[in-house]
Amino acid sequence: MKLTHIASATTLVSHKNTKVLTDPWIVGDEYYGSWTHYPPIEIDYSEFDDLDYIYISHIHPDHMSRETLEKFNPDIPVLIHKYDAKFVKMNLERWGRKVIELDHGEKFHCGDGLNIRIYAADDCNPEVCFKFFGCGKMENKFGSTSIDTMAVFENGSKTILNVNDCPFLLSQRTLSRVLANHPKIDLLLVGYAGAGSYPQCWDYSDKEKLEIYGIKKKNYFLKDGLDFLKVVNPVTYMPFAGTYTLRGKKAYLEKFRVVPELQDALKYYEEKYGSGGLMLNSFESFDLETKTSTAPYVPIDYEEKIRYAEEVLSQYEYEYERDPEVSLKQLLDLLPKAYSRYEEKRKEARFVSEANVYIYLPEEKMCKISCKGEGYEVIDKKEFNDTKYVSYALDYKLLYRILRGPRFAHWNNAEIGSHISFARRPEIYERGLYWSMNYFHV
């Protein structure tokens, strides 16, 4: 069995004549144009004409890129977890893909003795998931609710465990189940970095971003990967996924993301866990039988990447920037239904907070949203004097897309793409607030 690294979380698992591609994001600038690959990828897509299956772990566009999928033969089946919510399945089918849903941990024969099992990170246990998300929902009607999955590939002698973006705290029950079926993991594909807006989009000083909050985030995700290593105890491991560079007018934030390069992540894991790790450049492979790679890893030059982002990638335009100008009235017309939907979800989550949410609007206005059921109001910006709040500021064209609903844009993708500038007082993270705000749209 052989693993070929393509880009970020995109890998090719092959055994004899059977090939499975994972989480395809090769072409396209995802998250509304702010995520791209560095170095740029050149590829001949005809090399993938003989794929047998595509595995997609979850809905985020760096794992499920529509533009990339359109490069592949539409007859190639896509394997996904059988979630209670059908967002992944419906989107893929709308894009013309044939979808095969697999039950939690179900063995699926890909061909030539290569099998895959897909596991929900939350072990299909809504209590585990909802405690993690902090929203308190415990209704029995919910099945698998997490957006993340991990996958096991095995051929009878060698086993690969790909944990994708699964958080360790959410995954411990699932890991126990995986290791009961596969006590020896020959290769663990493990994350080392977290995407999102923190700290680069928050109102911290540059020094705080680089030396306090950025370091805090970096250490958190490195430890998350280390926890996977300690529990799985693989023969070999490879840090991967989450390798992107900011593009467009947000490219200047790249240096404030404080994400370790792959070589730094590997060094950390070798110091804290032990030797046996590897790294692969794009289109290089690791053979699990011979334990050899096709080429030594060539590290990314961090300074050159930052220069390229600031001088070249910053010149690109986001698609929404070409939208017509948005008026205050257009946004105000959407607020009643958006608040109604948000309030329904806030109650469903049983989330209550003294904090208010503020969204910046045109003409020096702000939308003030209660987190305890007291409605919303539009105020003059000069009236703002709150001491417990979270504020959202973003391009009004993107805001208009988001408020019209997920068919146009979504809060979560805008946040992950670094399109939203945030501030909060006090410096307290309330997970349920952001979960509820994801539904502030018509």
Helices 126-133 and 168-181 pack at an angle, to 10 degrees, of 150
SS3 99: strand
> pLDDT tens digits, residue range 112-152?
999 999 999 988 765 555 555 544 343 334 445 556 999 99
Whole-angstrom CA distances from 415 to 35, 241, 329 are 12, 18, 24
Can you tell me the mean pLDDT for 371-395? 98
> pLDDT tens digits, residue range 259-288?
999 999 999 999 999 999 999 999 999 999
Distance from chain centroid for Cα 33? 15
Better-predicted residue by pLDDT, 235 or 170: 235
Indicate whether 351 and 296 sit together in one domain. Answer: no
> What is d(CA 178, CA 164) in angstroms, rounded to the nearest whole number?
14
> pLDDT tens digits, residue range 202-215?
999 999 999 999 99
Sole residue written with tokens 């982002």: 309
> What is d(CA 293, CA 4) in angstroms, rounded to the nearest whole number?
9
Please give the tally of structural domains in the chain: 2
Indicate whether 84 and 101 sit together in one domain. Answer: yes
- The pLDDT score that the predictor gives to residue 137 is 42
> pLDDT tens digits, residue range 304-327?
999 999 999 999 999 999 999 999
Contacts with 182 (C-beta within 8 Å, 6 or more apart), sequence order: 152, 154, 159, 161
- The pLDDT score that the predictor gives to residue 225 is 97
Q: Is residue 166 one of the residues assigned to a domain?
A: yes
Indicate whether 378 and 433 sit together in one domain. Answer: yes
> What is d(CA 361, CA 342) in angstroms, rounded to the nearest whole number?
18
Indicate whether 300 and 338 sit together in one domain. Answer: no
Residue 324 burial (CB count, 10 A): 8
| CATH number for 400 | 3.30.1050.10
Mean pLDDT of the chain: 94
Name the residue type at position 168: F
Q: How many residues belong to the chain?
A: 442
Domain residues for 196?
A: 2-315
> What is d(CA 75, CA 256) in angstroms, rounded to the nearest whole number?
42
Is 110:116 a contact under the CB 8 Å cutoff? yes
- The last residue of one of the domains, among 315, 343, 376, is 315
Say if pTM beats, i.e. exceeds, 0.85: yes
| CATH number for 190 | 3.60.15.10
Indicate whether 308 and 327 sit together in one domain. Answer: no
Contacts with 240 (C-beta within 8 Å, 6 or more apart), sequence order: 5, 8, 9, 11, 189, 190, 191, 192, 262
> pLDDT tens digits, residue range 87-109?
899 999 999 999 999 999 999 99
Contacts with 232 (C-beta within 8 Å, 6 or more apart), sequence order: 161, 175, 179, 185, 188
Q: Is residue 231 one of the residues assigned to a domain?
A: yes
- The pLDDT score that the predictor gives to residue 15 is 98
